Structure 1
Amino acid sequence: MPSLRDAARGRILFGGDYNPEQWPEEVWEDDARLMKEAGVNSVTLGVFSWAKIEPRPGAREFGWLDRLMDLMHANGIGVVLATPTASPPPWMGARHPETLPRTEDGSIVWYGSRQQFCASSPVYRRYAAALTEDLAARYANHPALTVWHINNEYCTHCWCDETAAHFRRWLRSRYGTADALNEAWGTAFWSQRYDSWTEILPPRKAQYMKNPAQVLDFKRFTSDALMECYVAERDIVARHTPHIPVTTNFMPLWSGQDAWAWSAQEDIVSVDIYPDPRDPRGGQYNAMLADMTRSQAAGPWMLMEQAAGPVNWRGVNHPKPDGLNRLWSLQAVARGADAVCYFQWRQSRQGSEKFHSGMLTHAGEQGRTFREIKRLGAELALIGPAVGGSDVPAEVAILHDWDSWWAGTQEGRPSSLLDYTEVVQSWHRALWENGVITEFARPDADLSRFKTVAVPHLYLLTDAAIDNLVAYVRGGGRLVCGFFSGVADVDDRIRPGGMDVRLRELFGIRTLHEWWPLDAGSAVQCDGFRGGLWSEELEVAAGTEVVAAYRDGELAGLPAVLRRGRAWYLSTLPEPEALRALLGGVVREAGVEPVLAGLPDGVEAVRRGELLFLLNHGRTAVTVAVPGDREDVLTGKPVQGPVELGRHGVAVLRSAAP
């Protein structure tokens, strides 16, 4: 199977989306010159070029793309060639309105933007396959081709009649009989029993709350339907070029795709990451997404998109201060990226994204952004040979699951304030601030190599997942689990007792009497800390250690944090400092040490291969004590003793030769 390592060949791929069809051809040569000057060795072509290649049904205009492929190759720049199927041309919507998606209330999503396709539409799939076939046949042997990029940010949803028919086929495959479906969906409630398959629809706009199990299955189906589109195009290009790796870019922490399932279908796992430059937790958010993508890839991954400066879709779009783009890019490399790319190369002059930054902004080659890009390109060339293809070791896993996420965000739950991603980020932040490198894992994955497993919040757990967690603890692992976990089974059916009995026995919970969600802005006082968002009325079994109890409110005197042997349970969300201390204590007890002890606040240390990355996320200069004699890869200078890191500063060190 081809891989990112094959495409990178010991380098860090560096570049971005290149949309030259927006510019006169005389600009292309200048682009190539500036790319070489910046150290760009990879560009993505064709992402939104369907109308340019196929201006009318069946037409093919490849001449301009031929010239670009040749130009890139002549300048030593590889091409990540995209199938342009994310944005069908206007002629498709005009001639085939059945390809346009419909919303829950039946409204048509018209053309005029992008991604206006129904994933279940046979007409869309037929046109997409035909174009992909011709694209792959034409460029299969072109020397510039390094990676195939299928579609772009799969994110469409549709509730049309074609989708309804497709959904019914998916349900038949899953359940076999309507009786089995009725049992799984609990249709005895509200007289929802289905007598035949033809009665079943997607969960369209309804009078009141929809059936949660139906909504859950529709989310599963939508992820699978989109993946069918990806796999169809992937198989076409793989047939023509079995030696070229294939990817499609995930959006970070987006609920619409089960990325565990999708990543198994990719040769390269890639992601688009856009932290807010004004977010004081931006560095940790960046680290979390890097850890998640590396885990999905089971090794090196591709940063397909980031912004060199401001984006254009926030309420206020702030530029990146001097050094921040470099910091976050090198942080991605430290955490396993073998490709650092951007949207886009040259900032657009027209269209919806003309205020979204590029590597080459409206200021041109004299602009600050381009100067920073050139510096980064030179530094990546120095780092690449030392880390390319290497992994990042981790001894702690955070469990993450799309089924649980989907089920836990339904209507009618105890608290609409419970945000799955915020809880996951809180736990990752606590471990990150302890200097602990983490991986993400499925709850049913082999966890035996991890010293500690953290479960921030998994409302839905399958029987296999629960058995896996119990076996992990019995095998010597340490498990720390957050509130409102193990509540529902695979069909979103509440388990007897409000939490699976195997988990209650594992954590030493005799009875879970009630969930007590907290109001916005409120907190509950516990021994030594304040808890937010959630609390639970628990009765513990004999032999369970109460680590902390509630000290006020209705639950005063009842347990807040429990421990039974190597299994911990948190029935609330401790404030950040307390969560950091609690999780830090658990991992240290398990023998997990930080990469480098005694770091100043805001400084991150990561080991990848033979290199030690020191990253200052603070806005003031700091001094970091580093043991031993080392060499700074970026400067070539020896390092003995403390390392000075300026604002947003980075040092990349390796042990000095004896």
Structure 2
Amino acid sequence: MTRTTPHTGTGPALSFGGDYNPEQWPREVWREDVALMREAGVNLVSLGVFAWARLEPRPGEYDWEWLDEAVDLLHAWGIRIALGTPTAAPPAWFYRAHPDALPVRRDGVRLAFGSRAAICHTHPAYREAAASITTRLAERYGSHPAVVLWHVFNEYDGPSLICYCDLCAAAFRDWLRARHGTLGALNAAWGTAFWGQGYGDWEEITPPRVTASAGNPAQQLDYRRFADAQARACFTAERDILHRLSPGVPVTTNFTTAPSQGDKLDYWAWAAEVDLVTNDHYLMTDGRRTHVNLALAADLTRSVAGGGPWLLLEHAPSGVNWQPHNPAKRPGEMARNSLGHVARGSEGALFFQWRQSASGAEKFHSAMLPQGGTGTRVWREITELGSRVADLTDLRGTRTRGDVAMIWSWESWWAQSLEWRPSSDLDARERLDAFYEALYDRHLTVDFLPPTGLADLDPARHPLLVVPQLYLAPAALAADLDRYVRRGGTLLVSYFSGIVDENDTFHPGAHPGALRDVLGLTVEEFSPLLPDERVTVRTGRGETYEATLWSEVVVPAGCDTLATFADGRTAGGPALTRHGLGDGAAWYLATRLTGDALAAVVDQVLTDAGITPADLPRDVELVVREGASEDFHFAVNHTDAEAKVSLSDGSRRAVAPGAVEVWRTPR
């Protein structure tokens, strides 16, 4: 299935609400809940996501009464429903009957019942049971007027997605036959001539379980693809049931696109299978500027959605419970987080969860209605935010305007993260974060792109394209980037990009393989730095930068050298180059710069691309959603001082400390 006409949302207004679990509470609480939901401005809740054991307490026996009552109660109060298929939480009776449906780790240990999403997606009994409960739900509620969205499973990108059991081994062999065709082709793709790993029979192939030394990287990469495909097949099976029995109601599953949270699914592929892209995002409180990661995740989700509408299905009103340290959000931070997602394309803001649980593993997770009730700061901020979201209804269907583009690939990240790379400290996510932060600090909104299908990439629309790290690059990318640069685009590539093809095999010729010609250089050797080692990079203008982690031997082949390594094992060689090509230019940075040093390079490249960033204070965002007749300017002030911003109509507006303002200007 290809998503050709994405849904623009789930109702006539921007969505506001959260995950609701009435099965955790006595019925007398439900009426209090819906009354408070109305007070808070809630118009959409996710329902029944983990309720399989309650809905089907014994095999083939169903208890619909409670859900009937909850659905009708919500509908009577004008609250729409994203009805969940509870297939992320099979009941205990299912595992008792099918203990081999629990996933097996790479080391052979089978996980136990007692958490969530602990399932082998290959297991036929699971697939049958999932189809059965989904069918029953769709038959009963598929035409209910309150059900405006189907929410399948919950966060497929979970900790136990990849299973290494014997059932998966057999399915993996079938998947490999479909992908490679013959054993000869597979042996060639996997490079099995190395270490004598050649296969003479399909039955000899197993999942890449724990080995004595480093395993075959191409086999491991294919297994990541296989696990992703197995989960996606489970989703599409449920989706097709829902499409058949509940026609016209969009079907989704909640992504976790932020690379800090989701690393097992290729969301470029998943986006084509859902009717509406939805995402969950939680702040990673690791000492960094959390609002920058939030902006990245929102931009990435919008890009996965093809630039069109998407929906923030979960985030936290305040602190979470699953990190080593879980601080509460500061006053006003919830609104900045929520409206920051809306600024970057979300058609609303939903939370996990509505009422704080009194027991269970997530009882310390914040909720819209906290343990302290309606006298709390969180509740007051929730009601204020609900009113603000309602006031923004007119921006439904508008599109966030991106300024520059960046390539990101989950498959490349998987491949780069395998064993025995030139440095164990290579981290594609770290480079993504670093380059994104540099662009964020220049108040530029980023559109992300996959490394495929870029033949029509337009320099007039995206005058700058950044490749923060793309170890695995398809061969076709070379021609696409060459065309982009020759037509006037500016390309900025960071080290360890363009090295291998889709089978983790070196591209022919010298590094950087697929990007060698467009960059006008070759890389003869990698020379990664030791953990405490630093080298100096000196520009032709006399500036010096401290670099870490990486250096390499770069040989110009048409490019100009703008900075060199001043010391270390690659002293005297190029560290920063520029290759004029046609009407554009391709830049290459051969080491890791951070902070002000990386910002200085980015500034040079932006000047070369003809981009003048907005004149704004650090940590003040200005993001534009474009409509047919008017634009919506979102100003998000993450600082403790008043900020002034300039709008497209020439006006200059003030944003109070910690505040979010939205202004309209005619097109």
Q: TM-score, normalised by structure 2?
A: 0.93
Does the C-alpha gap of structure 1 residues 294 and 656 become closer, same or farther in structure 2, counting only changes over 3 Å?
closer
In the alignment, structure 1 residue 460 sits paired with structure 2 residue 472: yes
Does the C-alpha gap of structure 1 residues 521 and 35 become closer, same or farther in structure 2, counting only changes over 3 Å?
farther
Partner of 1:532: 548
Paired AA for residue 575 in structure 1:
T
Partner of 1:614: 635
In the alignment, structure 1 residue 523 sits paired with structure 2 residue 570: no
Q: Quote the offset at 1:593 in angstroms.
A: 3.7
Alpha-carbon distance between aligned partners in 1 of 2:188 and 2:659, rounded to the nearest angstrom: 58
CA contact (8 A) 2:17 2:43 kept: yes
In the alignment, structure 1 residue 311 sits paired with structure 2 residue 311: no
Does the C-alpha gap of structure 1 residues 3 and 491 become closer, same or farther in structure 2, counting only changes over 3 Å?
closer
Paired AA for residue 518 in structure 2:
L
Larger mean CA deviation between 136-145 and 620-629 belongs to 620-629
Alpha-carbon distance between aligned partners in 2 of 1:12 and 1:4, rounded to the nearest angstrom: 13
Does the C-alpha gap of structure 1 residues 210 and 79 become closer, same or farther in structure 2, counting only changes over 3 Å?
same
In the alignment, structure 1 residue 291 sits paired with structure 2 residue 311: no
* Alpha-carbon displacement from aligned partner over 1:286-310 (angstroms, at most 9, x marks no partner): 0000000000112121111111011
Taking the TM superposition and a 5 Å limit, the aligned residue runs for 1:7-86 are: 7-9=10-12, 11-86=13-88
Name the SS of the counterpart of 1:554 in structure 2. Answer: coil
In the alignment, structure 1 residue 626 sits paired with structure 2 residue 643: no
Taking the TM superposition and a 5 Å limit, the aligned residue runs for 1:144-293 are: 144-154=146-156, 155=158, 156-251=161-256, 252-253=258-259, 254-276=262-284, 279-293=287-301
In the alignment, structure 1 residue 559 sits paired with structure 2 residue 574: yes
Alpha-carbon distance between aligned partners in 1 of 2:666 and 2:252, rounded to the nearest angstrom: 38
Does the C-alpha gap of structure 1 residues 346 and 228 become closer, same or farther in structure 2, counting only changes over 3 Å?
same
1:142 alignment partner, one of 141, 144, 154 = 144
Name the SS of the counterpart of 1:7 in structure 2. Answer: coil
Alpha-carbon distance between aligned partners in 1 of 2:60 and 2:285, rounded to the nearest angstrom: 44
Paired AA for residue 415 in structure 2:
A
CA contact (8 A) 1:246 1:268 kept: yes
Q: Quote the offset at 1:501 in angstroms.
A: 4.9
Paired AA for residue 445 in structure 1:
G
Larger mean CA deviation between 442-451 and 173-182 belongs to 442-451
Name the SS of the counterpart of 1:338 in structure 2. Answer: strand
Q: Quote the offset at 1:323 in angstroms.
A: 0.6
Alpha-carbon distance between aligned partners in 2 of 1:119 and 1:234, rounded to the nearest angstrom: 15
In the alignment, structure 1 residue 121 sits paired with structure 2 residue 123: yes
In the alignment, structure 1 residue 374 sits paired with structure 2 residue 383: yes
Q: Quote the offset at 1:515 in angstroms.
A: 0.8
CA contact (8 A) 2:6 2:309 kept: no
Paired AA for residue 129 in structure 1:
A
CA contact (8 A) 1:50 1:85 kept: yes
Q: Quote the offset at 1:533 in angstroms.
A: 2.2
Partner of 1:635: none
**Structure 1: which 5+ runs fail to align?**
631-639
Partner of 1:651: 661
Name the SS of the counterpart of 2:611 in structure 1. Answer: coil
Partner of 1:348: 357
1:572 alignment partner, one of 567, 573, 591 = 591
Paired AA for residue 371 in structure 1:
R
Alpha-carbon distance between aligned partners in 1 of 2:145 and 2:37, rounded to the nearest angstrom: 18
Name the SS of the counterpart of 2:93 in structure 1. Answer: helix
CA contact (8 A) 2:499 2:514 kept: no
**Structure 2: which 5+ runs fail to align?**
none
1:5 alignment partner, one of 1, 4, 8 = 8
* Alpha-carbon displacement from aligned partner over 1:577-630 (angstroms, at most 9, x marks no partner): 122232233234323343xx2211211111112111111112x12231435889
Partner of 1:633: none
* Alpha-carbon displacement from aligned partner over 1:299-335 (angstroms, at most 9, x marks no partner): 1211111110111111111000101111111111111
Q: Quote the offset at 1:379 in angstroms.
A: 0.3
Name the SS of the counterpart of 2:400 in structure 1. Answer: coil
Larger mean CA deviation between 247-256 and 467-476 belongs to 467-476
Paired AA for residue 84 in structure 1:
P
**Aligned Cα RMSD in Å?**
1.7
CA contact (8 A) 2:416 2:472 kept: yes
Larger mean CA deviation between 161-170 and 548-557 belongs to 548-557
Partner of 1:99: 101
Paired AA for residue 308 in structure 1:
P
CA contact (8 A) 2:552 2:590 kept: yes
Name the SS of the counterpart of 1:555 in structure 2. Answer: coil
Does the C-alpha gap of structure 1 residues 656 and 222 become closer, same or farther in structure 2, counting only changes over 3 Å?
closer
Name the SS of the counterpart of 2:279 in structure 1. Answer: strand
User: Quick one: percent identity of the two aligned structures?
Assistant: 44
CA contact (8 A) 1:277 1:319 kept: no
2:525 alignment partner, one of 504, 514, 518 = 514
Q: Quote the offset at 1:420 in angstroms.
A: 1.2
Partner of 1:545: 560
Partner of 1:602: 619
Q: Quote the offset at 1:522 in angstroms.
A: 3.3
Q: Quote the offset at 1:271 in angstroms.
A: 1.1
CA contact (8 A) 1:535 1:571 kept: yes
Alpha-carbon distance between aligned partners in 1 of 2:43 and 2:316, rounded to the nearest angstrom: 18
Partner of 1:395: 403
* Alpha-carbon displacement from aligned partner over 1:137-181 (angstroms, at most 9, x marks no partner): 110111100101110011321000110011000000001111111
Does the C-alpha gap of structure 1 residues 441 and 131 become closer, same or farther in structure 2, counting only changes over 3 Å?
same
Does the C-alpha gap of structure 1 residues 502 and 309 become closer, same or farther in structure 2, counting only changes over 3 Å?
closer
* Alpha-carbon displacement from aligned partner over 1:535-563 (angstroms, at most 9, x marks no partner): 1111112x421111111112221100010
Alpha-carbon distance between aligned partners in 2 of 1:16 and 1:501, rounded to the nearest angstrom: 47
Paired AA for residue 98 in structure 1:
D
Alpha-carbon distance between aligned partners in 1 of 2:328 and 2:248, rounded to the nearest angstrom: 40
1:108 alignment partner, one of 107, 110, 117 = 110
Alpha-carbon distance between aligned partners in 2 of 1:290 and 1:515, rounded to the nearest angstrom: 34
Name the SS of the counterpart of 1:538 in structure 2. Answer: strand
In the alignment, structure 1 residue 504 sits paired with structure 2 residue 505: no
Partner of 1:326: 335
Alpha-carbon distance between aligned partners in 2 of 1:333 and 1:451, rounded to the nearest angstrom: 25
* Alpha-carbon displacement from aligned partner over 1:465-493 (angstroms, at most 9, x marks no partner): 22222222223221111101111111111
Alpha-carbon distance between aligned partners in 2 of 1:486 and 1:67, rounded to the nearest angstrom: 57
Paired AA for residue 489 in structure 2:
G
Q: TM-score, normalised by structure 1?
A: 0.95
Does the C-alpha gap of structure 1 residues 278 and 320 become closer, same or farther in structure 2, counting only changes over 3 Å?
farther
Paired AA for residue 662 in structure 2:
V
Does the C-alpha gap of structure 1 residues 540 and 307 become closer, same or farther in structure 2, counting only changes over 3 Å?
same
Name the SS of the counterpart of 2:465 in structure 1. Answer: strand
Name the SS of the counterpart of 2:646 in structure 1. Answer: coil
